[in-house]
A and B are shown apart, each in its own frame.
Chain A
Amino acid sequence: MSAMRVVANLELCQGHARCAQICPELFTTDVEQGKVVLRQAQIPADLEEQARLAVANCPEGALRLARSGSGS
């Protein structure tokens, strides 16, 4: 496991699904509103780069990375 996890803000998410396209291993979208669903919050080490790209490509700024174990 990497030391990072993903935090999603569902208020900001509008269902662009760029994250699910870039890193389907970590992100998918719900059936009803098409918003982001985290398959797992913890990022496996081998997916860290993809996770960073998914976060950086969200045009709404709805995703961010946080240190594992930190509350923020």
Chain B
Amino acid sequence: MSTSQLTPVPPHVPPHLVLDFDFFAVPPGLRDPFDKWQALVDTGAPPIFWSPRNGGHWTFLGYDAIREAYRNHESFSNRHQSIPKTEGWPVLQPNGVDPPEHSKFRNLLTPLFTPAAIASLQGEIRRRTRVLLDTFVAEGHCDFVAQFSGKLPTGLFIHLMGMDEGRLGEFIALADFFMRVEDPAAKAQNAREIYGLLDEFFRAKTAHLGDDIASLLIRTRDTPGSGVSHEEVINCAFLLFVAGLDTVTSTMTCIWRYLATTTDARRQIAGCLSQPNELNRAIEELIRFYAVSSIYRRVTRDMTFKGVTLKEDEMVVLPDNLANRDPAVFDRPREIDLGRKLNPHLTFGLGVHRCIGSHLAKLEISTALQEWLPRIPDFRLVEREPLKIFAGPVMGFRSLPLAWEV
């Protein structure tokens, strides 16, 4: 869809490292969003290349380079990273800052997202999953995105923040728009609306504190000497809202599309729903294969990285999916092997900015499988026309029509 302009290639970038690749484009006829990335590898793209699209940026293609960039936040910063470069976008806490500033919010939030803390949410996730399933199981069909994967993360955000359940519809509408909008001006307006709602929510919440994340943030803000401002609290809440939204929605959608078209996998997973070891292994494999995020970093200083000259303030894209399908690390990387044993995938990133919500995301997926498969053991994709695909920092399918016998 994108028709971004070509920008002049900087003089330090040699011609053989330049490739006309539009990060946001969906090539005509694309049936699977991951094929766009795989095509880069298959056509011999340099493992580190410069694209003149979207303001000009680097892309790293291999596991090693992506891993190093993740782990070296001093050279590859999270501050003011965006493609194309934009001014005036708020600094999201803690993802948009690096240590030591990063530690302020990260240390505050981390205890709430440890495996032990997330395990206590199991009942809530199960309850919400059942509520969603109840709305369509008897119908024999659904749009998986609109009726399930697009709704579950938002419901959990409402719960984690201690928001009134009555606001769910409002936030689902905002989340839906956030995930669908492509026009930058409309996207910025949508973000302002979310900010406005969060600002209003946090002001009202101050008088009704509980044991939720919002209350923790407010108590910290109001502790003398904390150095945490109201704006930072809103930024942090905004990040928690959007970070677990289209990522989880898209990952689940890719997984259910695979299951809808792969009878053996449905049977295999249905057979291990109550065996944590096997189920975890299967889920790790599915999220290895369907790593929907491509992450931005900003180069902080002029340097030579794996033989390539990078300059300060240049942007880099790290496509998790290609790290996870790198044959140097993974055996038969283009196959889904639900029993895969060696699987050090980078789906949640690495280093200090490692996805804080990884345990929550995995529990959402495992719980959804545990609730869905016993009630809808067999389902199929209804593909009357090719599924609409989107690309960019998160990629996936706009909708996923499924059907089953009732």
Contact = CB atoms under 8 A, between A and B. Distances in A.
* A and B held together in a complex: yes
Task: Say whether chain B's binding surface is mostly helix, strand, loop, or mixed.
Answer: helix
A34 B348 contact: no
B114 interface: yes
A9 interface: no
A22 to B, nearest CB: 8
Contacts of A34: 110-111, 113-116, 359
Interface in B104-122: 107, 110-111, 113-117
B342 A56 contact: yes
Contacts of B71: 60
A33 B342 contact: no
A20 interface: yes
Given A15-B110, A29-B115, A31-B116, A57 B343 contact: yes
Contact of B345 (A17, A20, A33, A59): A59
A32 B111 contact: yes
B350 A33 contact: no
Interface string B113-156: 11111000000000000000000000000000000000000000
Interface string A5-21: 00000000011111011
A10 to B, nearest CB: 13
B343 A16 contact: no
Contact of A57 (B276, B342, B359): B342
A53 interface: yes
Contact of A16 (B110, B277, B358): B358
B110 A57 contact: no
Nearest to A49: B341
Give the size category of A's interface with B.
20 to 34
Contacts of B196: none
Contacts of A60: 71, 350-351, 354
Contacts of A21: 276, 280, 284
A59 B346 contact: yes
Contacts of A32: 110-111, 114
Contacts of A57: 342-344
A59 B343 CA distance: 9
B352 interface: yes
B68 to A, nearest CB: 11
Given A57-B343, A58-B344, A59-B344, A33 B114 contact: yes
B111 A31 contact: yes
B205 to A, nearest CB: 25
B354 A16 contact: yes
Contact of B354 (A15, A20, A22, A29): A15
A29 B341 contact: no
A33 B350 CA distance: 15
Contact of B114 (A15, A18, A56): A15
B350 A14 contact: yes
Given A53-B341, A57-B342, A57-B344, A14 B111 contact: no
Interface of B: 67, 71, 107, 110-111, 113-117, 276-277, 280, 284, 341-346, 348, 350-352, 354, 358-359
24 contacts: A14-B350, A14-B352, A14-B354, A15-B114, A15-B354, A17-B359, A20-B115, A21-B284, A29-B116, A30-B114, A31-B111, A31-B116, A32-B111, A34-B111, A34-B113, A34-B116, A53-B341, A56-B342, A56-B344, A57-B342, A57-B344, A59-B67, A59-B345, A60-B71
Interface of A: 14-18, 20-22, 29-34, 53, 56-60
Please list the 7 inter-chain residue pairs (A to B) with the smallest Cβ-Cβ separation, ordered nearest first: A34-B114, A14-B354, A59-B344, A17-B115, A21-B280, A57-B344, A33-B110
